[in-house]
Structure 1
Amino acid sequence: MKSKAKQNTFDLVCLQSASGAMLVPYRFERTRQVKRMNLHVDSSSVVVLKAPLRQSQASGVRFMEEHGDWICRMLETRKSIPKLHSYLMKHPHLSLAGRSVPLVLRFKAGVCQHVIEDTAGRVILTVDPGKVLVPQLVSLLKSIAREFLPTRLMELARKHQLKPHGITVRNQKSRWGSCSETGAISLNWRLVLLSPPLQDHVLLHELAHLKHFDHSKGFHQFLKALDPSSEKHARRLDADASLLIDLGQAEL
């Protein structure tokens, strides 16, 4: 677990893009978990550069300079991240048990609850308009995720004869999920906001780590056996769903 002090510190780099120069905050992290450098922008609009242990920070800066256009585009996109309640009103559905379920948002004084209607096949979220909205929505969605995500993961695990050792649903800042060396899988509650195919892709990705605790060629081959469209799903997750990971974070 990273300390808050480490997470809140960053350096600055000047990157060139098609729209001009931009001073960009970044955090350089060496880790055994990656075999090559990769980038993402966190919820605070800080670029996080993860690199293998052997890589120097100078080589990391050169890597960011080579990808300056992409980084600047991502930072501009972050400015338009929707509010959680606005997103739910524009995309009124959740992915539960492998299917898309209609979502209804209601307001009632003194009430914060969710109801899953089996007959109507929909989920109703009722929140108190007199209280801060986002914490209520996050609490309700986390409860739903804790009810459905472990069950769906176990369905897929049984189908492929895999056995995780413990499942938790959490509020990760930048990951859709993770798998420990002991086989414990942790899932982000925001997975219920993804489409069913993308949600299953993430679940299968974590299950694949039960056989390959890395991102080696063997891992990707095994993942493709579990999810034949894994490459397409991974691209869609990066392109279409990357902003969902930040929903509700800055608003809490």
Structure 2
Amino acid sequence: MEYSVSSLDNMLNRGIPAKTITELCGIAGSGKTQLALQIAINCAKETHKTVLYIDTKGDFSALRIQKILEKCQYSFKEVAAIMSRIHISYIWTMEELVNLFKNLKNGELVIDNLVLLVIDSLPSLMFQYLGEDNKLGLSLLNSFVNYSRFICKQLNIGIICINMQTRWVDQDLTDVEDEENSTAYKDSFTEKRYRCLGRYWQHIPTLVLELEKIKENDNENNSGIKITVLHSIDSDYENRHCILCVGESGVT
């Protein structure tokens, strides 16, 4: 689906794939929601079809979308038309999410011209089932995956799921010799990042894109997002990366 962002489309040769699940992951503040909103905007603008944006955190901002479109010098009429094609659904539990997807599968919920579905984000729902409720959470996640795979193919749509990464720093002591040949120890630190949602989820998405916020010349107003392909069904794409610019006119 070549309606995301040009640099991302070029890196993947075909853009975000339809009929499958794509994951955007990264640590907090890496630009996941920024990119998801931009893909939703571009999709609604270029395809003239419907995007369903599922907000699980309660922080979706229509004003943010409006400002991006106005900075791109779209007319009031064009802004209204594009925004009308981005439908918002607020979901607070995994049960609600599973029921929504079940209704899409069974035809009880019909969204005309649906082409893309964005979930921002899955961990916000799954974190409610940590500990004693983990089995229930895993069962609900499994149901969500099954429904997602079905409606992707049935409705010929793409699904984007936003996932979190956790960052861990391991400290190692390395032997070193000083000038007197005595043994000393030097601290070394290794940073490791892990995608949330557990082992079951790790191989569910067909495409996994890792986001990392970068700054050019230490200027906050001149920032970007580095995107790396962590996983793809086509191994030739793995470890490819591109840089997207972030500004008042959105992500480009």
TM-score normalised by the shorter chain: which range applies?
under 0.3
Pick the structure with greater CA Rg. Answer: 2
Compare relative contact order (CA 8 Å, sep 6+) and give the higher one, 1 or 2. 2
